[in-house]
């Protein structure tokens, strides 16, 4: 068993609107481990990402109970900048690249103010996804959806994070493009020892990239297992996801 990196226990989160998004959620990710979170719309996946990365309050959500620890340290109510400084980086739903800046400047932005040891060079980002190098002087907003997502992933990895939380990378992209993005992410994360928390509705795709996964429903973990176990119990896993069969989850892309 890997040494623990992040641990979430009894996490209870509610939005100001009254939506009770997480109800006693528990999960953990080991150092350098690749873990998935899968679940239907509204299961609470994005809320987990927000809570872990210190962004809950920015979305008018309150952590009502539970504990999040990073390498044993309680980070439950830390602000986002402090969590980021500890090497926990998020790729938000909807990518978050800056359209009116070039590819290169989107990447440079992350390097400003980072200690040298935490920086990697732009060349490393371009070797991860060569198309970004080819289009380095193009405005990010002119890239295709897949290329923008590559930029978001490459940017997140530039700071050599300990954990990368990727929320719905596959959204609006063809499965082939998603695989290319995830291959790049996996290779780089493995090389750097970066742990990945991959949040996805596209269960089959996700299970090809993670070692194990949690299935969320109504703010709780309803089942968990290695990717092989969850695929073997495909019917049960699919039922939790609210779909007829697991293989069809690619159709959600």
Residue ranges in 223-242 that form contacts with ligand ATP under rule CB under 6 A? none
Nearer to ligand ATP, 39 or 146 (CB): 39
Tell which one of 36, 44, 66, 184 touches ligand ATP (CB under 6 A).
Answer: 44
Residue 250 to residue 253: CA distance in whole angstroms: 6
200 in Cβ contact with 36 (< 8 Å): yes
- Choose among ligand ATP, Mg ion, none what residue 21 binds, the Cβ cut-off being 5 to 8 Å by kind: ligand ATP
Partners of 185 in the beta sheet?
none
Q: Does 45 bind ligand ATP (CB under 6 A)?
A: yes
Q: Which of 8, 11, 29, 43 binds ligand ATP (CB under 6 A)?
A: 43
Instruction: State the binding partner of 201 from ligand ATP, Mg ion, none, CB within 5 to 8 A by kind.
Output: ligand ATP
Phi (first) and psi of residue 214, to 5 degrees? -110, 140
Both tokens of 49, joined, read 């990402």
Q: Which is nearer to ligand ATP, 18 or 72 (CB)?
A: 18
The least CB distance from residue 172 to ligand ATP, in Å, is: 12
Nearest approach in angstroms of CB 171 to ligand ATP is 8
Q: How far is the CB of 19 from ligand ATP (least distance, A)?
A: 4
Asked whether position 59 contacts ligand ATP by CB under 6 A, the answer is yes
Using rule CB under 6 A, residue 155 touches ligand ATP: no
- How many residues touch ligand ATP under the rule CB under 6 A: the total is 14
Q: Work out how close the CB of 41 gets to ligand ATP at its nearest, in angstroms, rounded to a whole number.
A: 4
Coil/strand/helix, residue 48: helix
* Tokens representing residue 16 in the block: 């100001």
Check binding of 19 to ligand ATP (CB under 6 A). yes
Helices (H), the chain: 45-52, 80-85, 103-111, 122-128, 130-134, 145-158, 175-192, 203-209, 227-232, 234-241
CB of 151 to Mg ion, least distance (A): 20
Specify the pairing of strand 73-74 against strand 61-70.
Answer: antiparallel
Partner from ligand ATP, Mg ion, none binding residue 175, C-beta < 5-8 Å depending on class: none
**Euclidean distance between the first and the last CA atom of the chain, given in angstroms as a whole number:** 33
Q: Is 46 in the site for ligand ATP (CB under 6 A)?
A: yes
* Beta bridge mates, 28: 7
3-state secondary structure (DSSP) of residue 169: coil
């Amino acid at each position: 068993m890997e040494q623990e990196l992040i641990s979430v226990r009894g996490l209870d989160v509610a939005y100001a609107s009254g939506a009770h998004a997480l109800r006693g959620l528990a999960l953990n990710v080991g150092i350098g481990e690749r873990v998935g979170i899968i679940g239907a719309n509204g299961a609470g996946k994005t809320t987990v990402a927000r809570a872990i990365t210190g962004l809950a309050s920015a979305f008018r959500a309150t952590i009502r109970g539970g504990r999040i620890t990073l390498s044993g340290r309680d980070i439950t109510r830390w602000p986002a900048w402090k969590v980021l400084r500890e090497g926990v980086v998020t790729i938000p739903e909807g990518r978050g690249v800056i359209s009116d800046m070039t590819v290169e400047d989107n990447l440079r932005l992350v390097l400003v103010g980072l200690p040298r040891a935490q920086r990697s060079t732009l060349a490393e980002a371009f070797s991860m996804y060569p198309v970004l190098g080819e289009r380095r002087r193009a405005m990010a907003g002119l890239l295709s959806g897949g290329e923008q997502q590559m930029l978001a992933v490459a940017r997140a990895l530039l700071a050599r994070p300990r954990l990368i939380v990727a929320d719905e990378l596959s959204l609006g992209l063809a499965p082939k493009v998603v695989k290319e993005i995830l291959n790049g992410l996996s290779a780089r994360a493995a090389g750097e020892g970066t742990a990945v928390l991959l949040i996805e509705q596209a269960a089959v795709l996700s299970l090809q990239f993670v070692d194990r996964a949690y299935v969320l429903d109504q703010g709780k973990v309803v089942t968990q297992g290695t990717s092989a176990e969850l695929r073997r119990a495909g019917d049960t896993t699919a039922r939790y996801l609210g779909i007829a069969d697991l293989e069809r989850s690619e159709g959600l892309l």
